[in-house]
A and B are shown apart, each in its own frame.
Chain A
Amino acid sequence: MLEQTSQWYKLQYPECFVNEEQRMIQKLFADFTDREIMPVRDKIDDDLTHNEIITPILKKLQVDLGCQADMIPADHGGNQSLGMVAAALKGEQISRGDWGINLHTACTNWGWTPATIAYLFGASQAVKSWGKAVLGAFAPRFLTNDLRVACFNMAESESACDIENHLNDGRMVHTKAERKGDEWVINGTKHWATNSGIADLNCVVCNMDAKSGIEGFALIYVPEPWPGLSHGKFEVKCGVQADRNTSTFFDDVKVPKEWGIQGPEAWNLFLNQLVSAVALQSASAVGVLQGAFDVLLEYTGTRVVGGKPVRQHLSTAMLLAEMASVISVGRAAFLELNHQFDHPEIYGPRITESALAKARTVQTYIARTTPELILKGMEFMGSYGYVRENNYEKYYRDAAALKLVLGGVQLGYFSVCRQFYDLDFSSFGPGKLQPAT
């Protein structure tokens, strides 16, 4: 149970970063995780159909608590919960129970983000109008008592991190969008996107013309079911079962022109997507490590070896302290980062090299460190740490994927370097791919 009046809590979540509303949101998701996820966390990844455990949890989270309307503006009936700190606290708490559940809810928000940001903060009337058209067409179906899912459909099988590599200016996006009359026509294949195959609404990352880079970049919303849109099989993964991943095939998918946006304005929305997700993923990683730490702390307190509890042995104490230190430092870092992103009037816009580098320093540090520490911790649980019912190995499996998402930590490190020198990690240039002609 999250105890918000203890001194440790106050030191972990300082008032300069976390206000009253954010604390209430944090408590809501802490309680939800403790009651709804923790008791079944060892069974979540075995629910291959999602019918037994995952979907009932998601329905409570997304419908009963109203999270599926978080990124829908208030004047369209949604929660307009745009704050990064609030989203980070939510992600940390849910990931403490199951990172896949968190990915599901976070990526429904992610799918909505371009349209809502465009509508509320668009740099031009055209951008605002696009957001308004998308919200007008699709927001009402997310405000019902049915579970609705959104998907930011970005990655492709041959160019995942190359798409997330912003130096490529979108030229590695192979999903082709064309304007024909009053319609967009989309052809291509996406892969890996969270919520793919179960989404009611996709925001599809497209390219109109590879050689024109940002000018040809496009974001197009496509609902489901929709003619020409189909899916492959769901991937069977090491863990993170609540995060559905599959292929999405676009075969002459035609949608009204009002649902798509192209050019630099679309590109800026895309950059905002990337940097925001990196910042939030840092909080999720801390949540995964916290979940593992709590299990390890309890187990090593009751298991006796050599005449005393395991955690009274020096080697275990050292590891527990190291985990607690990374949690504490990681938490401080993600709170500061997301607080800064909530205050562009002080710290500047999010879509800059410096902002991305800052976000990547935090994300890569936690994402890289978490799996290593969790694996070390398994040594102190022995085989008990390797079986489902002791709730530890699930964090080991969750943590492995922390390093893989959003282009992977290597791409993150490259971005960090760009803050300090002109590291060239684009796909194009001398000795590399040549832009299409």
Chain B
Amino acid sequence: MNCAVCIAQVTNPETPAAAFSIDLKARRAIPAKDRPLVINDYDQVAVEAALKIKEAKGGKVTIFSLGAPSVTVAIKHCLSMGADEGILLSDERFQAEDRALVAYALAMAIRKAGNVDLILCGRQEGDWDAGQVGLGIAEILNIPSVNPVRKIEVDDGRLVVERIVDDGYELITLPLPALIGVSNEIGPARYPTMKGIMTAARKSVDVWTADDIGIAPSRLDPSSAKVNMLDLFIPMRERVCEFIEGETPEEAGANLRLRLRKEKIV
């Protein structure tokens, strides 16, 4: 049972909003310098899910990611957890903001790698919370997908998964190959082991460009982006604090009731 896991490096979700600024012209959020990039938490959980499947059913786990060469660190972390191979899609023509392009590139890479039974992604990114890439990959590869999933079982060459819904979960059976968006309910990602680190440090991560995975130059042109960012801004929140007065607490309470009614809050 060969698994592909797509991971992304994101700005640490713990970074406070005040540490970001907005490039209005480029419509980009710019984190403050020296803010760490981390592996998307949900993606780490997806790696954990893949490793559990590997332990139960055998096969190999291959990590895919798109980004700058520095993403190699994130891929190696996954290798040190127990993944077998890592492939980085790195090309300055990739526009990471265009989730459709990211999904297309990852789909092309997975297709090129071949022999993949199950693709696992995190349910969504920790920075934009878009949750589009995984489902986009499934659409491009024309395979079934479910997201978000809290439990995965492989049974007789098919998947039985629990998809999270508002009031519980749905039990879904689907054939392979398939794509699953993994949620954190699967369980925490394991630590790497010392042996895993020593093995991972000696492994190389393959780097593929857009040409290597057969993406036409026209698809890489920013004008062909499927997503058009219209505006990006920090919402302004105004808070007005007013003390409702009264001679006694009871009177203040009565005044508050009247005021809330007047403002049509109650």
Please give the residue numbers on chain A whose beta carbons come within 8 Å of chain B beta carbons, in ascending order: 1, 3-8, 19-21, 24-25, 27-28, 31-32, 60, 64-67, 69-70, 79-81
Contacts and interface: CB of A to CB of B under 8 A. Distances in A.
B77 A24 contact: yes
B198 interface: yes
Interface in B13-66: 14, 34, 36-37
Contacts of B80: 24, 28
Given A1-B12, A5-B70, A20-B201, A25 B194 contact: yes
Contact of A24 (B14, B37, B70, B200): B200
Contacts of A65: 191-194
B197 A1 contact: no
Given A21-B198, A24-B200, A25-B197, A5 B37 contact: yes
Contact of B193 (A6, A21, A66): A66
Interface string B63-75: 0000000100100
B228 to A, nearest CB: 31
18 contacts: A5-B70, A21-B197, A21-B202, A24-B192, A24-B197, A25-B197, A28-B197, A31-B191, A64-B193, A65-B191, A66-B194, A66-B195, A66-B196, A67-B194, A79-B194, A79-B195, A79-B198, A80-B198
A263 to B, nearest CB: 34
Contacts of A31: 191
Contacts of B201: 19-21, 24
Interface in B173-193: 190-193
B11 to A, nearest CB: 12
B191 A69 contact: no
A24 to B, nearest CB: 5
A69 B70 CA distance: 31
A81 B202 CA distance: 14
B76 interface: yes
A69 B195 CA distance: 9
Nearest to A80: B198
B191 A32 contact: yes
Nearest to A83: B198
A81 B194 contact: yes
Given A5-B37, A7-B34, A20-B201, A64 B191 contact: yes
A67 B192 CA distance: 11
Given A1-B14, A5-B70, A19-B201, 20 more contacts: A4-B36, A5-B34, A5-B36, A5-B37, A6-B36, A7-B34, A20-B201, A21-B202, A24-B80, A25-B197, A28-B80, A28-B192, A28-B197, A60-B191, A65-B194, A66-B196, A67-B194, A69-B195, A79-B198, A81-B194
Contacts of B191: 28, 31-32, 60, 64-65
A150 B190 CA distance: 26
Nearest to B72: A20
B26 to A, nearest CB: 22
Nearest to A3: B36
Nearest to B201: A21
Nearest to A24: B197
B192 to A, nearest CB: 5
A24 B76 contact: yes
B130 to A, nearest CB: 24
A66 B77 CA distance: 16
Nearest to B70: A5
Contacts of B73: 4
Give 10 nearest A-B pairs by CB, closest first.
A21-B201, A6-B34, A66-B193, A3-B36, A66-B194, A24-B197, A79-B194, A79-B195, A66-B195, A28-B192
A312 B248 CA distance: 43
A73 to B, nearest CB: 12
A64 B191 CA distance: 8
Nearest to A19: B201
B30 to A, nearest CB: 16
A31 B36 CA distance: 14
Contacts of A24: 76-77, 80, 192, 197, 200-201
Nearest to A22: B201
A7 B35 CA distance: 11
Interface in B184-221: 190-198, 200-202
Contacts of B202: 21
A8 B35 CA distance: 12
Contacts of A1: 12, 14, 36
A6 B76 CA distance: 19
